[in-house]
Copies of this chain bind each other. A is one copy, B any other.
């Protein structure tokens, strides 16, 4: 079976790796721990990373390109993997200072090109942007979008403004111009300048925080459909990452039902909401729900166009990553080819054979 893994996490072993792509005064400030990241209040009770994924030479799981190739890409004979850095770095958009956030976004993108893309052509990546200043974010997309290994723009799900709001239009215009999907990744809820991480305030434990993660993803999806993002940017695609899949049908039933009675409020939403979802939205599969009775998952897959909308992901090397072989066996045989690789190949415009990277020259980071 061909495999494209749509959610793989990589990180640096020390801030020096990132710092080399920062100008002063940011570099010195980063190295002395200046508001370096916006964390939320939910540490994992043991570890967010798999200890069996620690590279042989030591360091963090996911910090050694060659070991990631060996332990993931070659072990499972994957065509490509889509890197998303650490979700904590997506919380740059939750920092108070927009200039600092923009500098960290550019440094991340340069680190991705130099540390990961250059190591293997099967590494694809996600452009990080700082959403505090959408115009600067759009310029960052322009700066690096021509690199053929960047395949999407990644945003964290912990926000003050749901992603349908006009505020974000410059980011979507730039992404659409370059044929790049927007990917929303969770776990920045409640960090930094975002509001509380749930609609009911701050839960006490990681298990609660993690279980409720699909909540923010759902709000963004509803917001983007109801605000007409896919009418304003008809070429734009959305990837909803790492939130599982089984909540989608009931949400779209509720939204479709409400649209029938309330659409006068959002008259620009011309089609049934679930039709926009089918055409514009893709979900990565991990962490796949595992009901006690396997027929229940099969029934969920019958409730929406799963064979078009789902893209396999492992979330390697995180604690709850899905084993590729095992997780794909949950899907009906006739869906497996599309979900394991073909939907991602089509969405990201990837060649059927593994291509050679041909990096375009990269300009200096935009000045906010």
Please tell me if the beta carbons of B203 and A164 are within 8 angstroms of each other in the complex. yes
Please tell me if the beta carbons of A223 and B208 are within 8 angstroms of each other in the complex. yes
Please tell me if the beta carbons of B198 and A216 are within 8 angstroms of each other in the complex. yes
Q: What are the 8 tightest A-B residue pairs by CB atom distance, in nearest-first order?
A: A246-B250, A199-B216, A195-B196, A200-B219, A45-B265, A253-B289, A299-B299, A198-B219
B contact residues around A246 at 8 Å (CB):
249-250, 253-254
Please tell me if the beta carbons of A160 and B253 are within 8 angstroms of each other in the complex. no
Counting CB contacts under 8 A, is A120 at the interface?
no
Q: Which among A134-142, A171-179, A256-264 touches the partner chain?
A: A256-264
Please tell me if the beta carbons of A254 and B289 are within 8 angstroms of each other in the complex. yes
Which of A198, A214, A223: most chain B Cβ within 10 A? Answer: A198
Please tell me if the beta carbons of B200 and A223 are within 8 angstroms of each other in the complex. yes
List 24 contacting pairs A-B, 8 Å CB cutoff, sorted by A.
A46-B264, A157-B199, A157-B200, A160-B201, A160-B202, A195-B195, A195-B201, A199-B199, A199-B215, A203-B222, A204-B227, A205-B265, A207-B258, A207-B259, A207-B263, A210-B258, A212-B222, A214-B254, A246-B254, A261-B320, A296-B299, A296-B302, A296-B303, A299-B303
Counting CB contacts under 8 A, is A352 at the interface?
no
Counting CB contacts under 8 A, is A74 at the interface?
no
B contact residues around A218 at 8 Å (CB):
212, 215
For A278-301 the 0/1 string (1 means CB < 8 A from B) is: 000000000101110000100110
Q: In whole angstroms, what is the CA distance A227 to B46 when docked?
A: 19
B contact residues around A262 at 8 Å (CB):
45, 206-207, 210
Please tell me if the beta carbons of B199 and A257 are within 8 angstroms of each other in the complex. no
Please tell me if the beta carbons of B222 and A162 are within 8 angstroms of each other in the complex. no
Within the complex, the shortest CB–CB distance from A345 to chain B, in Å, comes to: 28
Q: In whole angstroms, what is the CA distance A216 to B261 when docked?
A: 23
Partner of A204, one of B205, B223, B296: B223
Please tell me if the beta carbons of B208 and A226 are within 8 angstroms of each other in the complex. yes
Please tell me if the beta carbons of B207 and A211 are within 8 angstroms of each other in the complex. no
